[in-house]
Chain A
């Protein structure tokens, strides 16, 4: 069955970068895209970006200057990186499959010194 498993740190220092890996199973990254969404008490659910099956990406304009999504098809892994984190970036970060049909378990990220 389809699964998305996330791995990454829970604590990030202000101004530092966040990196999360999403490892998928049950589908091929060469056939389907993977989205990234975050959830915070203040802003609810926010779509951050997507990497499509062909490797192209689309980003939310609000994050385009500090967000990067890449992947390794052979390892079924998608890599999320956001730079220059501040306190208001504290949130749960999710990866989700094509059409948001399946979601990872979420990574709670706290930005604090």
Chain B
């Protein structure tokens, strides 16, 4: 199965700061998907098909990448963005998730 490695595992950012987190796949995948999860709640689809924002996701979020390297970027950090973000692939069976990047507000 494809292993997804997210980095960093934990990071913090000040309001207004640009944030980038990455997801590396053990084999090439066609698309990467991202989920946001806040404590005590279910994951929410955040970015799908590498760069498409899910409904309601602010435009300060963006996704990019190809092959084995993908990233999620926040152009200007806001307090509400503090959460754990998971990448996921289902180009290859079984679908797999990364270990998550916990983003904290400074």
Do B42 and A105 have beta carbons less than 8 Å apart? yes
Beta-carbon contact of A61 and B42 below 8 Å: no
Chain B contributes a number of interface residues (CB within 8 A of A) equal to 18
Asked if A103 contacts B100 (CB within 8 A), the reply is no
Given A46-B97, A47-B97, answer yes or no on A100-B45 (Cβ-Cβ < 8 Å).
yes
Contact residues in A for B71 (Cβ distance below 8 Å): none
Interface centre among A44, A99, A105, A106 (most CB of B within 10 A): A44
B24 within 8 A of A: no
Residues 86-106 of chain B: 1 if any A CB is under 8 Å from the residue's CB, otherwise 0? 101000011111111000000
Residues of the B chain whose Cβ atoms lie less than 8 Å from the Cβ of A45: 43, 86, 88, 97
Task: Spell out B's residues near A (CB within 8 Å).
Answer: 33, 35, 42-45, 48, 54, 86, 88, 93-100
Interfacial residues, chain A to chain B (CB-CB below 8 A) = 35, 44-47, 58, 60-61, 94, 99-106
Closest 4 CB pairs of A and B: A45-B97, A103-B42, A47-B95, A60-B94
**10 interchain pairs, CB-CB under 8 A:** A44-B98, A44-B100, A45-B88, A45-B97, A47-B95, A47-B97, A60-B94, A94-B42, A100-B33, A104-B42
